[in-house]
Amino acid sequence: MNGVGFFFADQNNPFLVAMVVTLAIAGIETLSLVMGFGLSDLIDDFLPDVDIDSPEAEGSMFGEALGWLNVGRVPFLILLLAFLAVFTAGGYGLQLIMRGTFGFMLPAIIAAPAALALALPATRLTSRGLARIMPREETYATGNDDLIGRIAVVSLGPVTRRTAGKAKVSDETATRTSCACVPPGAASGSYPTNLCCW
């Protein structure tokens, strides 16, 4: 059996289908990015938000499984592509080893579950690595409580009991934040909500 015949063999049909779906999704995603919108973003907006760190999700088997696969840490489409690619590579690799070692390939009904068993932990490791390098939506909103005890540098105006000044302070992520500041004992009711007092 030549290389092309191996890929299209009946025993490899699940892996061929997974490979075609992977290539189709990757092509559509690339085309959508060129056109100015991401298919991955559209799918993530369509799917319900899953908070895998919530107490309700942590107690359920479904929530634990989603957390184990890193759902929510990487976009769903990327997770799906990683799973399909690992399933395809694992399935073809398994069949290649079987053919080279024993001279035959496993039937698809046995090879597919075996490849699935290999693909799930591999998808977890792949998605964990992708989660570290992929940009994600983050907020750098800082509350007043986060600034307590931090040293601010006055950047505008004199700070008196009658006038507030502007100061810059770094939060725990080393993000510089501008805030109004007043000296201790000044009435805070007439000032903006983000006050630095010292």
176: phi then psi, degrees, rounded to nearest 5 = -80, 130
Domain check: are 108 and 152 in the same one?
A: no
Total domains present in the chain: 2
Domain check: are 25 and 121 in the same one?
A: yes
- How do 165-170 and 195-197 pair as beta strands? unpaired
Domain check: are 29 and 111 in the same one?
A: yes
Domain check: are 129 and 149 in the same one?
A: no
| Residue 80 within a domain | yes
Domain check: are 76 and 171 in the same one?
A: no
- Classify burial at 196, counting beta carbons within 10 Å of its beta carbon; exposed 0-12, middle 13-18, buried 19 or more: buried
Question: Measuring CA to CA, which residue among 171, 168, 166 is closest to residue 142?
Answer: 171
Sign for the CA dihedral angle at 186, 191, 193, 194 comes to negative
Per-residue pLDDT of the chain (198 residues; tens, 9 = 90+): 677 888 899 999 999 999 999 999 999 888 888 887 777 777 776 666 655 555 555 556 766 777 777 777 788 888 899 999 999 999 999 999 999 999 999 999 999 999 999 999 999 999 888 888 876 555 556 666 777 778 888 877 777 777 777 888 887 777 777 777 777 665 544 444 445 554
Q: CB–CB of 28/19 below 8 Å?
A: no
Q: CB–CB of 170/150 below 8 Å?
A: yes
The model's pTM is: 0.62
Domain check: are 156 and 188 in the same one?
A: yes
Domain check: are 67 and 95 in the same one?
A: yes
Domain check: are 111 and 173 in the same one?
A: no
